[in-house]
Amino acid sequence: MPTLWRRTRTTLEMIKWEHSIFALPFALTAVLLAAGGLGDWRTVLPGKVAWILVAMVSARSAAMAFNRWADAELDAANPRTQSRAIPAGLLTPRFVLGFTVLAAAVFVGASAELNRLTLYLSPLVLVVLLGYSYLKRVTRWSHLGLGLALGLAPSAAWIAVRGSLDPRILVLTAAVTLWAGGFDVLYSCQDCEHDREAGLHSLPQAVGIPVAFWVARGMHVLMLCLLVWFGELFHFGWMGWMGVGAVGLLLGYEHSLVSPKDLRRLNAAFFTMNGVIAMVFLGFVAGDLWVK
């Protein structure tokens, strides 16, 4: 039991399970909007939300564990990541791969509990989530692969509630993709030299850190434009528009925390602020629906 508890705690630390909050609020935003088309949503929605939470947490856990397994040798060669579970000898590659399979199975099972379409699409989602780990080996645009992995959340949540896809929700998927891709560009700046030496691809490695910062800013400006379009499509009221404005202000503050010459507060910008941004947007959209 002590060994099992130690492995479980190490695994949770490895997958950063608390960072599931990044995409979850956007998924719940889609759930709230999709619920407006359900006749008896008060009866149906609680069970749906429970299985959506299980699906999201298990899918992200599978993706993170697989990434650590696939990148074990690369992590061992990078001073910033040498303390991760596999390079540090805290977990074996076999254990991490087994955890990945288990989490993926839970995700497929949760998808089956939602509806037939979510079950049919679950293997495709896993391809996107797990395939991201190899994109950095072939393209500088791997950041958008990570963005898509998070951006699928609102569209998947809509399908989970309605059993079909409304094209309007794809605008939020595109917005989240650019949001996550932009902050991944910033986060990868700290590995620029290592990526160059290891033959890995990233925007900072390809174009330099200053240009990468401008690309990330451009992605986030486009994300705000998409949120405005999204608000128009779903007829936001004043609270919804306040949410879009709040996201813009928070993104501006996030970018003020770091610069091409000073990456010391990158973790604060990446982990703390992005969780706040997602929760704030959900809160304002929920409030907007409440007052309508």
Reported pTM: 0.90
Distance CA 126, CA 130 (A): 6
Q: In terms of Cα–Cα distance, which of 116, 7, 5, 114 is closest to 54?
A: 114
Crossing angle of helices 116-135 and 93-114, rounded to 10°:
150
pLDDT of residue 26: 95
The residues pairing with 150 across neighbouring beta strands, listed in sequence order, are none
**Quick check: helix, strand or coil at residue 199?**
coil
Distance CA 131, CA 32 (A): 30
Q: What is the largest CA-CA distance in the chain?
A: 57
Per-10-residue mean pLDDT, the chain, length 292: 65 66 89 73 73 93 92 86 84 90 96 95 96 90 93 95 94 97 90 82 90 96 98 95 96 88 74 86 92 78
Q: Which domains does the chain have, with CATH numbers?
A: 2-291 (1.10.357.140)
